[in-house]
A and B are shown apart, each in its own frame.
Chain A
Amino acid sequence: EVQLVQSGAEVKKPGESLKISCKASGYSFTNYWIGWVRQMPGKGLEWMGIIYPGDFDTRYSPSFQGQVTISADKSINTAYLQWSSLKASDTAMYYCARLLTMVRGTYFYYMDVWGRGTTVTVSS
């Protein structure tokens, strides 16, 4: 069974750093792009960025470029989303999701498998 298991809820203060994780199982981790989606409280879905663990190619939405870092460790089939200095506006649910991928990562499409989400709360 294809699964994405995300790390647990986090409560942080403004200015702190954070790294959340998404562990994949049931498929070849290095052959699929994996991405992150933000959902602020009561709001819609925002595509943040993606990474191809096969060669660590990373793409960001302009809205999130420079605000977060997406990485992966293919030795443990895990993708990460990290912040160096959190803001209150980073409070949200963060989902990881696998993207349908073809031609050895050249093409990436819709998000077919989702994690259950990690709640991040940033408050002083």
Chain B
Amino acid sequence: DIVMTQSPDSLAVSLGERATINCKSSLSVLNGSNNKNNLAWYQQKPGQPPKLLITWSSTRESGVPDRFSGSGSGTDFTLTINSLQAEDVAVYYCQQYYSSPHTFGQGTKLEIK
């Protein structure tokens, strides 16, 4: 199985500031057939199911605010949240869908400082 490791496990950021979450995969998730990275980011707020934010490492889902952005390639990826809002408090997960099982990172808990 591909192991996904996120850092940090938790972070606290002031409102209006930037939050950065990292995700590292144990194997490259770059899809050679389409030159895209098979990497997604999800947001899970308390008491809710996960919500898909970003696919292919950097493509925002429809309706996701543009303060959320994804970057990276191969084995190293980043989720950046600019101008943090109170409603962004959540746990964020990366997931590789390059090979089955589609493993998740352990999650990063984002709080307001």
Using a CB–CB distance below 8 Å, which chain A residues touch chain B?
37, 44-47, 49-50, 59-63, 95, 97, 100, 108-112, 114-117
Q: How far is the CB of B51 from chain A (nearest CB, A)?
A: 7
Q: How far is the CB of B35 from chain A (nearest CB, A)?
A: 15
Q: Complex formed: what's the CA distance from A62 to B89 in Å?
A: 33
Nearest-CB residue, chain B, relative to A61: B101
Check if B74 is an interface residue, CB within 8 A of chain A.
no
Give the number of chain B interface residues (Cβ < 8 Å). 24
Nearest-CB residue, chain A, relative to B33: A107
Q: Complex formed: what's the CA distance from A61 to B95 in Å?
A: 14
- For residues 15 through 66 of chain B, which have their beta carbon under 8 Å from a beta carbon of chain A? 38, 40, 42, 44, 48-52, 55, 61
- Beyond contacts A44-B107, A60-B101, A61-B101: 7 other A-B pairs, Cβ-Cβ < 8 A, are A45-B44, A45-B50, A45-B93, A45-B104, A110-B102, A114-B49, A117-B49
CB contacts (< 8 Å) of B91 on chain A: these are: 44
Query: What are 28 inter-chain pairs, A to B, with CB distance below 8 A?
Result: A44-B91, A44-B93, A44-B104, A44-B106, A45-B44, A45-B50, A46-B104, A47-B95, A47-B102, A47-B103, A50-B100, A59-B101, A60-B101, A61-B1, A61-B100, A61-B101, A97-B50, A100-B55, A109-B55, A110-B40, A110-B55, A110-B102, A111-B50, A111-B52, A112-B52, A115-B49, A116-B49, A117-B49
A62 and B104 in contact, given A110-B52, A114-B49, A117-B49 (Cβ under 8 angstroms)? no
Q: How far is the CB of A24 from chain B (nearest CB, A)?
A: 15
